[in-house]
Copies of this chain bind each other. A is one copy, B any other.
């Protein structure tokens, strides 16, 4: 039986299949093959990674060992990068043994030691290019590379993520700050050597001309925050919800805090103005008459932590509630 988006049990993650395909095609045209190392942390889904591989990107990066192990188990292990630090011996050992080509980012003696002791063979030196998160000081990258090589590890190059830049709305500012960040990375690269300069993201995909591979992930489904940046990618993910209660001045649908990443604030509902979310509800002021049982589409403020709550992505053949569900993509890369 044909199932429409409006027939799904809710809350249900829904992607507009043609919109996803267009996003993937657009990025593949701009960054073909290994010029893009898709980041799977945004979608956590091997089915979507296969769509990226089908467009020529067979190198991936991820934020957790479990994401990489899932890619390897799905036959997508040609060249996998843990774009994050780990000192977890069991997980690093599992990566070293999983049969895929594994590269791990390191930014300290301790992370180099952890890699060496667990059988990891290839590294990137993670460099802080301006965002206060992981990454060594640019001037320290060469010393760490030497240390790693002295321990018998292969250092493929450097990685640096301009996460403090990717969301800046003004393009000129974004460009200037990307250049500054990438000059830091280039300085580190000169000391480290190797073929790989990995970095960038969806918001700087057309500005960051310094990296050899772009680590973009959000472009596939797109976040509302990126909507202000005039990028050639369209929002493709919603949560379908059911109106369960209607009062005189508000209505309630079954899409709450446990179905949505909330760090970027409230979602948007296509039937009115959101007042607040509870664990299992969104209360909104309808801008048209709604009735109990009716479906609405909820756009999460942040895609990544939204998907991490769900087991399944339902793929529709177009936008809206009347679209037909044509495929199911398990969110099979959840957890750590």
Residues on A facing B (Cβ under 8 Å)? 9-11, 41, 63-64, 84-88, 90-91, 107-111, 114, 128, 132-135, 137, 163, 242, 244-250, 252, 254, 257-258, 261-263, 275, 277-281, 283, 291-293, 302, 304-305, 308-309, 311, 335-336
State the CA gap A304–B309 with chains docked (Å): 13
Interchain CB contact under 8 A, B10 and A336: yes
How many whole Å from A93's CB to the nearest CB in chain B?
Answer: 12
Question: Which 6 A-B pairs have CB atoms at the shortest separation, nearest pair first?
Answer: A110-B292, A262-B263, A85-B244, A134-B245, A258-B308, A257-B305
- Residues in B neighbouring A128, C-beta threshold 8 A: 247
- Residues in B neighbouring A281, C-beta threshold 8 A: 133-134
- Residues in B neighbouring A252, C-beta threshold 8 A: 85, 133-134
The residue from B108, B109, B242, B262 contacting A87, defined by CB atoms under 8 A apart: B242
11 A-B residue pairings within 8 Å (CB atoms): A41-B279, A41-B280, A63-B279, A85-B252, A108-B292, A132-B249, A133-B278, A134-B244, A257-B305, A258-B305, A261-B262
Interface of A is mostly: loop
How many whole Å from A295's CB to the nearest CB in chain B?
Answer: 11
Interchain CB contact under 8 A, A245 and B85: yes
State the CA gap A11–B291 with chains docked (Å): 42
Q: Knowing that A41-B280, A84-B244, A84-B280 are A-B contacts, what are 18 other residue pairs whose CB atoms are under 8 Å apart, sorted by A's residue number?
A: A9-B91, A63-B279, A85-B252, A87-B292, A87-B293, A88-B242, A108-B245, A109-B292, A110-B292, A128-B247, A133-B245, A133-B278, A134-B244, A134-B281, A135-B245, A258-B304, A262-B305, A311-B335
- Residues in B neighbouring A110, C-beta threshold 8 A: 291-293
A257/B261 contact (C-beta < 8 A), A108-B292, A244-B84, A244-B87 known = yes
- Residues in B neighbouring A86, C-beta threshold 8 A: 244, 254
Name the residue of chain B whose CB is nearest to the CB of A304.
Answer: B279
State the CA gap A135–B245 with chains docked (Å): 7
Most buried by B among A91, A245, A252, A311: A245
